[in-house]
């Protein structure tokens, strides 16, 4: 007997549909009959249900979409939401954020797209569904439940998956209460552990985005926190030593124990299988009721290996996010695209790019159908973070020499400082902590315009005033 796992439309429950079989049929005929019966065809399919999927859906609706043309297929059980909330307000001790409060597109100040919105627009949400096989030549996707989905145009929006310590065979890394944060289910489990281990001890493995943001929110929950990372300073992919010194000092003042230059090499457990200790490479052993690991991610491209061109760890696209296959697009974390401002191909992992690349791809798809063209994607790299009472923004490229300006004393009541990056005599990047909306716009303009900076000492002296006059 062949059962089709029913699709979940806009959060509705599952239905089981029994398909009649011919009286006499061998297993091959049965499989063919089941596959044919379960096949569902859409004009457009977005594979992945994260931030990019939600923004792409909104753009499709803006551009004109007929009911039944678009499906979003997601492993998660909920409609697309703003993922950055998970490492911030979702874990707050008081009035934590919860769905439906942060469904897309509230992260950019837009309308919140509740599950009902997709129903109203005739968009099918295929939730709790993992695609395990993709045949781009046949334009078909097959789920773990055996369903087949066919498309005319595919948008790959599969995002990244977290790197796990179990991937490296770290001793005891499969213990209970070792958490990773990528999806709302992960955040729910971590939140429950925080409540269960009141006034307990946590070890945060990693000193990047996740490490910094979760160390802050754990302290807000009155958890004793140690943050461990192998690099000489936190957030080394973006921060200079001068920038990092401020945040490390600020976090230390908030009670975070920062341990640099070493890594976790093993975990011990109690009789319940819960993590009890973290063993470090330098020989130290840290007590832990909770461990949170944030050591990076990998773009989820395995399903497409050998079927599309790849470069720099992602799926290679043009400025419209079209791959080498005319009916396949890739957006967000998985796309390696032409960064026009710098004249090179790059892959960018950030929510801002996920939103904008999704909108660009849909605009390009709809324009091509009408025989029109759109402008090339001209992206200005942008990163931001918020933790404790801090908030920083960065625009541009972090290459070349640097100039630090402003008040970067961790003990200041209202610190405000920044950094300019200078390459070939031009300012190519700008970072600002504690900026107003107007000041943040000013440093963005600096990174876009790339004004000359002949006198480095004068630039340091002028600080924000330099950005304000561009």
Supply the CATH number for residue 409's domain.
Answer: 3.30.390.30
| 113 touches 301 (CB < 8 A) | no
pLDDT at 13: 33
Segment 164-190 shows an average pLDDT of 97
Mean pLDDT, the chain, rounded, equals: 92
- pLDDT of 29 strictly over 50: no
Ordered DSSP codes for 269-294: E-TTSBEEEEEETTS-EEE-SEEEE-
Last residue in a domain, options 265, 295, 325: 295
H or E element that contains 160? strand 160-162
Residues 351-392 pLDDT 10s: 999 999 999 999 999 999 999 999 999 999 999 999 999 999
Distance of CA 369 to the CA centre of its chain: 30
Say whether both 156 and 196 belong to one domain.
Answer: no
Chain length of the chain: 470
> How does residue 454 score in pLDDT terms, banded at 50, 70 and 90?
confident
In the structure encoding, which two tokens stand for residue 281, read together? 């490479």
- pLDDT of 26 strictly over 80: no
Say whether both 22 and 108 belong to one domain.
Answer: yes
Last residue in a domain, options 264, 295, 326: 295
Say whether both 107 and 204 belong to one domain.
Answer: no
pLDDT at 432: 98
Residues 395-445 pLDDT 10s: 999 999 999 999 999 999 999 999 999 999 999 999 999 999 999 999 999
pLDDT at 33: 42
Segment 58-70 shows an average pLDDT of 97
Measure the CA–CA gap between 470 and 176, rounded to whole angstroms. Answer: 53
Say whether both 129 and 194 belong to one domain.
Answer: no
pLDDT at 455: 87
In a domain, 223, yes or no: yes
In a domain, 383, yes or no: no
Say whether both 117 and 189 belong to one domain.
Answer: no
* Total structural domains within the chain: 3
- pLDDT of 24 strictly over 70: no
In a domain, 375, yes or no: no
Task: Please name every residue paired with 140 in a beta bridge, in sequence order, or none if there are none.
Answer: 135, 150
pLDDT at 25: 38
Measure the CA–CA gap between 258 and 237, rounded to whole angstroms. Answer: 18
Say whether both 73 and 143 belong to one domain.
Answer: yes
Say whether both 363 and 394 belong to one domain.
Answer: no
In a domain, 344, yes or no: yes
> How does residue 314 score in pLDDT terms, banded at 50, 70 and 90?
very high
Strands 314-316, 310-311: pairing kind: antiparallel
- pLDDT of 36 strictly over 80: no
In a domain, 382, yes or no: no
Q: CA neighbours within 13 Å on the CB side: how many for 80?
A: 35
Say whether both 19 and 105 belong to one domain.
Answer: yes
> How does residue 39 score in pLDDT terms, banded at 50, 70 and 90?
confident
Measure the CA–CA gap between 461 and 403, rounded to whole angstroms. Answer: 10
In a domain, 233, yes or no: yes
**Three-class secondary structure of residue 354 per DSSP:** helix
Segment 70-88 shows an average pLDDT of 97
Query: What count of other Cβ atoms lies within 10 Å of the Cβ of residue 411?
Result: 8
pLDDT at 95: 95
Domain that holds residue 310: 3-161+299-369
- pLDDT of 10 strictly over 60: no
Measure the CA–CA gap between 469 and 33, rounded to whole angstroms. Answer: 69
Q: What percent of the chain has pLDDT over 70?
A: 92
> How does residue 38 score in pLDDT terms, banded at 50, 70 and 90?
low
DSSP class of residue 332 equals G
In a domain, 376, yes or no: no
Say whether both 157 and 36 belong to one domain.
Answer: yes
pLDDT at 8: 42
Segment 184-190 shows an average pLDDT of 98
Measure the CA–CA gap between 171 and 114, rounded to whole angstroms. Answer: 42
Residues 323-337 pLDDT 10s: 999 999 999 999 999
Query: What count of other Cβ atoms lies within 10 Å of the Cβ of residue 37?
Result: 14
Measure the CA–CA gap between 157 and 46, rounded to whole angstroms. Answer: 7
Task: Please name every residue paired with 402 in a beta bridge, in sequence order, or none if there are none.
Answer: 421
The CATH number of whichever domain residue 310 belongs to comes to: 3.50.50.60
pLDDT at 282: 97
Measure the CA–CA gap between 104 and 85, rounded to whole angstroms. Answer: 11
pLDDT at 7: 43
- pLDDT of 15 strictly over 60: no
- pLDDT of 4 strictly over 60: no
Tell me whether residue 148 is exposed, middle or buried, using C-beta atoms within 10 angstroms of its C-beta: 0 to 12, 13 to 18, 19 or more.
buried
Instruction: Quote the longest CA-to-CA distance of the chain.
Output: 87
Say whether both 60 and 145 belong to one domain.
Answer: yes
Say whether both 242 and 220 belong to one domain.
Answer: yes
Last residue in a domain, options 278, 295, 312: 295
pLDDT at 470: 86
Weakest mean pLDDT among 8-17, 52-61, 220-229, 301-310:
8-17
Residues 251-299 pLDDT 10s: 999 999 999 999 999 999 999 999 999 999 999 999 999 999 999 999 9
Residue with the bigger pLDDT between 429 and 2: it is: 429
In a domain, 377, yes or no: no
Say whether both 321 and 437 belong to one domain.
Answer: no
């Amino acid at each position: 007997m062949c059962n089709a796992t029913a699709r979940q439309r806009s959060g509705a429950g599952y239905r089981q549909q029994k398909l009649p079989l011919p009286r006499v049929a061998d297993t091959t005929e049965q499989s063919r009959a089941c596959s044919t019966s379960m096949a569902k065809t859409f004009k457009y399919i977005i594979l992945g249900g994260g931030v990019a999927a939600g923004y792409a859906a909104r753009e499709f609706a803006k551009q004109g979409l007929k009911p039944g043309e678009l499906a979003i297929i997601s492993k998660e059980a909920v409609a697309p939401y703003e993922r950055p909330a998970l490492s911030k307000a979702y874990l707050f001790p008081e009035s934590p954020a919860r769905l439906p409060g942060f469904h897309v597109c509230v992260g950019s100040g837009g309308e919140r797209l509740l599950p009902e919105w997709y129903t109203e627009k005739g968009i099918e949400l295929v939730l709790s569904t993992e695609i395990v096989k993709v045949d781009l030549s046949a334009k078909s996707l097959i789920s773990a439940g055996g369903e087949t989905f066919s498309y005319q145009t595919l948008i790959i929006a599969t995002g990244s998956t977290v790197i796990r310590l179990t991937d490296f065979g770290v001793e005891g890394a499969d213990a209970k209460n070792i958490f990773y944060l990528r999806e709302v289910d992960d955040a729910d489990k971590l939140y429950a552990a925080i409540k269960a281990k009141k006034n307990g001890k946590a070890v945060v493995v990693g000193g990047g985005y996740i490490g910094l943001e979760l160390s802050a929110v754990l302290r807000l929950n009155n958890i004793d926190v140690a943050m461990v990372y192998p690099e000489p300073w936190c957030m080394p992919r973006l921060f200079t030593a001068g920038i990092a010194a401020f945040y490390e000092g600020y976090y230390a003042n908030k009670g975070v124990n920062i341990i640099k230059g070493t890594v976790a090499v093993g975990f011990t457990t109690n009789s319940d299988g819960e993590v009890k200790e973290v063993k470090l490479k330098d020989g130290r052993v840290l007590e832990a009721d909770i461990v949170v690991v944030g050591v990076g991610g990998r773009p989820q491209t395995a399903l497409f290996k050998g079927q599309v061109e790849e470069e720099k760890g992602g799926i290679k696209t043009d400025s419209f996010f079209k791959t080498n296959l005319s009916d396949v697009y890739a957006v967000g974390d998985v796309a390696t695209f032409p960064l026009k401002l710098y004249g090179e191909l790059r892959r960018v992992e950030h929510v801002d790019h996920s939103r904008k690349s999704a909108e660009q791809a849909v605009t390009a798809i709809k324009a091509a159908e009408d025989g029109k063209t759109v402008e090339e994607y001209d992206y200005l790299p942008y990163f931001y973070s918020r933790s404790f009472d801090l908030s920083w923004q960065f625009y541009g490229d972090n290459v070349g020499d640097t100039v630090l300006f402003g008040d970067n004393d961790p003990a200041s009541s209202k610190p405000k400082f920044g950094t300019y990056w200078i390459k070939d005599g031009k300012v190519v990047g700008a970072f600002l902590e504690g900026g107003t909306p107007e000041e943040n716009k000013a440093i963005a303009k600096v990174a876009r315009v790339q004004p000359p900076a002949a006198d480095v000492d004068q630039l340091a002296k002028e600080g924000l005033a330099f950005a304000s006059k561009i």
